[in-house]
Each structure stands twice: as C-alpha cells, then as structure tokens.
Amino acid sequence: MKRRQFLTVSASSASAIFLTRCASGQSNARVERASCLLPRDALVERASCLLPQTWSSKDGLLDVSLGANYGPVSLAGQETNLLNYNGRVPGPLLEARPGDTVRIRFSNNLSQPTNLHYHGLHIPPTGTADNVFLKVPPGETWTYEFSIPKNHPAGTFWYHPHLHGLVAEQVFGGLAGLFVVRGELDEIPEIRSAKEEFLVLQDFELGSDRRIISPNHMERMTGREGSLIAVTGRVNPSLSVPAGGLLRLRLLNASPSRFYRLSLEEHPFYLIATDGGAVAEPLELQEILLTPGERADVLVRGDREPGQYRLLNLPYDRGGMMGGGMMGGGMMGGRRGRSSSQTLATLSYGDRLPAPLPLPEKLLPVEELPEPKMVRRFVFNHGMAPGMGMVFLINRQMFDHRRVDTSVELNSVEDWELTNNGVMDHPFHLHLNHFQVISRTGILPVTPKSDRSWKDTVLVKTGEVVRIRVPFRDFVGKTVYHCHILDHEDLGMMGILEIQS
Ligand SMILES: [Cu+2]
C-alpha cells in the first residue's frame, strides 16, 4: 500500500498536489464541496456543482462584456496569477439558442494582442464573427456580433484566443470558456431530467510564485503540458449522480496539448453528442479519448452500489520528437502524465429517485452526406527551417497568412484524406463547418450509420490516414484548419481555406 502510494506520488505531481491537499488542506476541500451537498429539494438537486458563471441569452439576445486580463485567479483552491476572462478560469459560460444574436463587447487588457475564436460554431468566418485574422491590440476593444443560425445544432462549443504564434501561450495561461447552444437535444425528456455538469479540462505548470512556467524548446516541439490538471478550475471535484438517475457530463479538452483518456470506475459512458451535436442514439463506451479541442457529451447512469467512483485519466502515448521510449519515463517535465493514471474527479451517489430514469432510446438523426465531388490530400509532418529549427508542416508548407492553401466551392461536399507521416499524433481541427469521419487508415469501410457523428476535431495518429467528409455550407470567406496541439499550430501546422461562392 505504501509502495503504491509512493509510486503514485512520484509519478504524477497532479496526484501529489491532490494528496497534499487531502493531508493539509482539509478545510479547503470541505468548503469547495459544501455547495455540492445534495439538498432534499429535487429541483435544487439537479443544480450543477461545477457550473461556471453563466450568461444566457434573453429575448433572443446574448449581450455580454468579456475582458481578457492577467491577474489573480483562484484555481484549484489556491491564489494564482493567470490569464483569464473576467477574473475566472475557465471563463464565463456563454449560453444561447439557435436564432439568437450574440454580442460580445471584448476588451483586451493584456500586454500582447489577442482575439476570440468560437470553436465549433457554424457562423461566418469574417467581419465581427469567427474571424481569426482579426487582431485586437493591447488596451483596445472590439465588439463581436453574429447570429446563431436557426438550424444550428445544440451542442457544447467553446471560445479561446486564436492569434497565430500566441495561441498555445494564451490558452496555457488560462484563456478558455464554454459556449453552449441549447436546443432540440436538450428537450429530450430523459436528457432534460438528467443532472448536468460541465467539465472543462485544463492543465497548468505553476512555479513557486504561482505563475505559469514557460515551456522550454523541447516542450514546445512536443506540445506543452502542465502537471496540475484542473477540472472546471478545481482539483478532483466531487460529482454526484442521483441513485437511479442520470448525470450528464459535458466534457471539453481545453488544454493546449494534453490528451485525456477518460474512464469512470464501474460506469460506462453513454455518448449522446460529439463536437458538432447529437448522435442518433446513445453509444456505450468504456473509455473516451479526448484530444485538445474535442468535446464529448455523455450520460452516466446511477445504477451501481452507492459509493465513490473515480473519474480517471489513463496513460496515453501521443509520441514524441525523440521516439517513444526516451521521453516516457518522466524526463520531460510536464509530460509525466503519460506513464500513470490521475484522478480527475470523484463521483458519489445522491438520494434515490422515486422512479429510475431510463436512458433515452433515440436522440436525433445524423444526416447522411452525399458522395464527395472531390478528394483532397493533406500530409502532416515536421521539418527544419533555417533560423527556426523544427517546424510543423501541412503538405510540406508552414503557415503563411498571405497564402490560400485550399479553395473550395460553397455548397460542395469534399472528402479530405489526412495522413500523418510524423512521429507524433496530430488532432486535426477545421473551423466553421463540421465533418463526418468516413474511414481510418484506409482499411475500415464507411463508419456504421449508427456511429456516424459530427466532428470538428479528429485525431490523426502517427502513421494513420483518416478520411473525413465535409459539406461547405452557408458562409463564404477565408478560415483555417490546423493541428490542435496549439504549439504545433503556432510552429506552422496550419493552412488557409477559402470558401468561394
Ligand atoms: Cu500536432
């Protein structure tokens, strides 16, 4: 037992921090959990423990002021100095409905330029909407304004900075927040009756002064990771499922590089939505691999013996610049996580419901896309550039904001074949239009209809070929696709897509 504890502590400083807090920070932990104790009132019982500050639209308008700041933030029960939106990490949860107008009065109070990307929203890539070419200089303000299309799917989306060259630094500093679109999926009776929690997974590397430690060169190549894992700003928070009831977890990986391989002791996950909204029917999963930028919306059934169950982050090897072995054993600072499991949260059972709540049988149909007009190929690799060292490439080129890499026609459907010839996994993200994964490594046939889903980020493992099918709809203009290991994006692994009418 002692030996096991020793291994846990030495292998993972995230666990170490948690154990320390259990030993010396009892009162803190109790205060943090106090708000999560389940009162008798059934209505209150559904209330979330981890809900960040929420702003919802009223009468068709979401009108908020959002400031990017640097300063004191309470994170994982300690005072830290982080980048933050409105003093919070994660930032406030923004909530709207299809057809709503969104107005965000954004002020940049940082000492460097920034901007906002609305990851996963199907809105224009231009003007005051999801315009990643826009730069808001330090000390200046900008009003983002756009409408959520009337036929926009309900789902879990998010906002974060997207200024090329600074993305990893600003997201690692703490800048990220949820953007939830409520709609049809949320009206399904069993889902409406489920208790809902928002799990924003972020990792940080803090120094003794409680400021973020900047990564070294090798950590940037690999993709920076931090040893402190926060779940919606807390370390190992308590989650509660009513006995006989359902708990809905909206999971977001808001880390710049870290992958989360999630499993919940003795409880399968029932996947109800992916990046782009609902799947056709709940899909039972024992594990979920969530790469940076990805979301999963799952139900957990409170049908086991009441007790405590750990939500675990299992080891995963996403490859490295120097081959697998050398960096696996904890040599690489923030990458210790890949050789040991960590506890992310703890599930307990609340009061028993008068009648058990079943899983929904059907969710929402997922459209079958027509055969593509065109197949394009994208090869992901790395190389050396004079004066820059290692750079990350798509089709042998690094990002250039003056160059359009790919032009497509509005209202066309294309297949994109994504090949990873590098030594590390690359999660591929396309802005603006959702896609479906058609095959992997050219061996698998078409994804079974029942498993078809809408994605905006998909893992392309080292050596793998993934084929996706994308409909380009509604909006023209320039946008981007890139690796969502944000250091790789900053180091060149991004291309410009122009959608033309
Ligand atoms: Cu990458």
Dist. CA 256 → ligand 1 center (Å):
10
What confidence tier does 449 reach under pLDDT thresholds 50, 70, 90?
low
- Tell me the CA–centroid distance for residue 405 and ligand 1, in Å: 18
417 Cα–ligand 1 center, Å: 16
Instruction: Give the model's pLDDT for residue 390.
Output: 86
Q: Answer whether 183's CB lies under 8 Å from 153's CB.
A: yes
Residue linked to tokens 């997201």? 171
pLDDT at residue number 340? 86
State the distance from the centre of ligand 1 to the C-alpha of 29, rounded, in angstroms. 36
Query: DSSP letters of 45-60?
Result: HTS-SSPPPEEE-BTT
pLDDT bin (cut points 50, 70, 90) of residue 48 is: low
- What mean pLDDT do residues 284-305 have? 97
pLDDT at 44 over 50: no
pLDDT band at 132 (very low <50, low <70, confident <90, very high): very high
CATH 2.60.40.420 fits 1-363, yes or no: yes
Q: How confident is the model at residue 325 (pLDDT cuts 50, 70, 90)?
A: very low
- Band (pLDDT 50/70/90 cuts) for residue 338 is low
Q: How far is the CA of 292 from the centre of ligand 1 (A)?
A: 10
Q: How far, in Å, is the centroid of ligand 1 from the Cα of 496?
A: 16
Taking the centre of ligand 1 as the mean of its atom positions, its distance from the CA of residue 137, in whole angstroms, is 27
Q: Using the mean position of ligand 1's atoms as its centre, give its distance from the Cα of residue 369 in Å.
A: 28
Q: What's the CA-to-centroid distance between 31 and ligand 1, angstroms?
A: 39
- Ligand 1 center–CA 159 separation, angstroms: 20
What is the whole-number distance in angstroms between the Cα of residue 323 and the centre of ligand 1? 15
Q: Virtual CA dihedral for 237, 261, 434, 68, nearest 10 degrees?
A: 40
Helix axes 26-34, 13-24, angle to 10 degrees: 90
Tell me how far apart the alpha carbons of residues 225 and 205 are, in angstroms, rounded to a whole number: 7
Percent of the chain residues past pLDDT 90, beyond the cut: 79
How many angstroms separate the alpha carbon of residue 426 from the centre of ligand 1?
4
For the chain, helix (H) and strand (E) counts, in that order, are 9, 30
The torsion angle over the Cα atoms of residues 404, 409, 413 and 414, rounded to 10 degrees, is -30
pLDDT at 441: 83
Residue 268 pLDDT? 98
Per-residue HEC secondary structure of 191-239 comes to HHHCEEEEEEEEEECECCCCEECCCCHHHHHHCCCCCEEEECCECCCEE
Burial class (CB in 10 A: 0-12, 13-18, 19+), 64: middle
pLDDT band at 2 (very low <50, low <70, confident <90, very high): very low
| Distance of alpha carbon 135 from alpha carbon 68, whole angstroms | 13
The yes-or-no verdict on residue 195 having pLDDT over 50 is yes
| 30/289: higher pLDDT | 289
Give residue 492 CA to ligand 1 midpoint distance, Å: 10
pLDDT by residue (tens digit) across 196-245?
999 999 999 999 999 999 999 999 999 999 999 999 999 999 999 999 99
What does each C-alpha distance from 173 to 61, 90, 205, 266, 337 come to in angstroms? 30, 11, 9, 34, 19
- Residue carrying the six token digits 């919606």: 232
In this prediction, residue 447 carries a pLDDT of 57
The residue with greater pLDDT, 184 or 440, is: 184
Distance, in Å, from the CA atom of 445 to the CA atom of 449, rounded to the nearest integer, reads: 11
Q: Is-contact 405 397, C-beta < 8 A?
A: yes
How far, in Å, from the CA of 380 to the mean position of ligand 1? 8
Q: What is the pLDDT of residue 29?
A: 29
Q: What separation in Å is there between the alpha carbon of 5 and the centre of ligand 1?
A: 34
Is residue 313 scored above 90 in pLDDT?
yes
Least confident of 159-168, 201-210, 444-453: 444-453
Query: Angle at Cα 105 formed by Cα 100 and Cα 110, nearest 5°?
Result: 140
Task: Name the segment(s) of the chain with CATH classification 2.60.40.420.
Answer: 1-363, 374-500
What is the average per-residue pLDDT within 163-190?
Answer: 98
Can you give 62-130 as a three-state secondary structure string?
EEEEEEEEEEEEEECCEEEEEEEECCECCCCEEEECCCCEEEEEEEECCCCCECCEEECCCCCCCCCCC
Cβ contact 156:126 at 8 Å: no
More confident residue, 275 or 451: 275
385 band by pLDDT with thresholds 50, 70 and 90:
confident
Residue 367 has a pLDDT of 95
pLDDT in tens, 76-123: 889 999 999 999 999 999 999 999 999 999 999 999 999 999 999 999
If you measure from the C-alpha of residue 206 to the centroid of ligand 1, how many angstroms do you get, rounded to a whole number? 24
pLDDT (0 to 100) of residue 320: 81
What pLDDT is stored for residue 49 in this prediction? 66
The edge-to-edge listing of strands for the beta sheet with 54-56 is: 54-56, 93-96, 177-181, 155-160, 117-119
What average pLDDT is seen over the chain? 87
Confidence category of residue 339, pLDDT binned at 50, 70, 90: low
* Inter-residue contact 240 to 38 (CB < 8 Å): yes
Q: Are 470 and 433 in contact (CB under 8 A)?
A: yes
Q: Is the pLDDT of residue 17 over 60?
A: no
Residue 407: its pLDDT value, please? 98
387 close to 207: Cβ distance less than 8 angstroms: no
Residue 397 CA, ligand 1 centroid: distance in Å: 14
Q: How far is the CA of 214 from the centre of ligand 1 (A)?
A: 19
Find the 489 Cα to ligand 1 centroid distance in Å.
7
How far is it, in rounded angstroms, from Cα 93 to Cα 470? 28
Given a cut of 60, whether residue 376 has pLDDT beyond it is yes
Residue entry with tokens 């502590």: 9
Contact (Cβ atoms closer than 8 angstroms) between residue 470 and residue 438: no
C-beta atoms surrounding 25 within 10 Å:
17
Lowest average pLDDT, out of 55-59, 91-95, 328-332, 365-369, goes to 328-332
Site of tokens 């308008």: 61
- The whole-angstrom separation of Cα 69 and Cα 110 is 5
Here the contacts of 130-135 (C-beta below 8 Å, separation 24 or greater) are 130/431, 130/432, 130/479, 132/162, 132/163, 132/164, 132/431, 132/479, 132/480, 133/401, 133/478, 135/163
What average pLDDT does range 368-390 have in this prediction? 92
Q: How far apart are CA 169 and CA 175, in angstroms?
A: 9
Cα of 488 from ligand 1 centre, angstroms: 5
pLDDT, mean of residues 37-43: 35
Please say if the pLDDT value at position 330 is more than 70.
Answer: no
Residue with the two structure tokens 């099918």:
469
Fold of 374-500: Immunoglobulin-like (2.60.40)
d(CA 28, CA 88): 19
**Does residue 21 register a pLDDT over 90?**
no
CA of 174 to the centre of ligand 1 (A): 20
* C-alpha of residue 354 to centroid of ligand 1, in Å: 49
Which pLDDT score is estimated for 34?
31
- pLDDT average, residue stretch 232-261: 97
Q: Kindly give the distance from the C-alpha atom of residue 494 to the centroid of ligand 1, in angstroms, as a whole number.
A: 10
Residue 124 CA, ligand 1 centroid: distance in Å:
26
Q: How confident is the model at residue 327 (pLDDT cuts 50, 70, 90)?
A: very low
Q: Compute the distance between CA of residue 378 and CA of residue 359 in angstroms, rounded to an integer.
A: 40
Q: How far apart are CA 498 and CA 478, in angstroms?
A: 4
Q: Is the pLDDT of residue 326 over 60?
A: no
Cα–ligand 1 centroid distance for 457 (angstroms) = 12
Q: What is the spatial order of strands in the sheet that 260-264 belongs to?
A: 238-243, 342-352, 309-314, 260-264, 288-290
Q: What is the DSSP string of 302-359?
A: --S-SS-EEEEEE----B-TT-TGGGTTS-SGGGGGGGS-EEEEEEEEEEEPSSPPPP
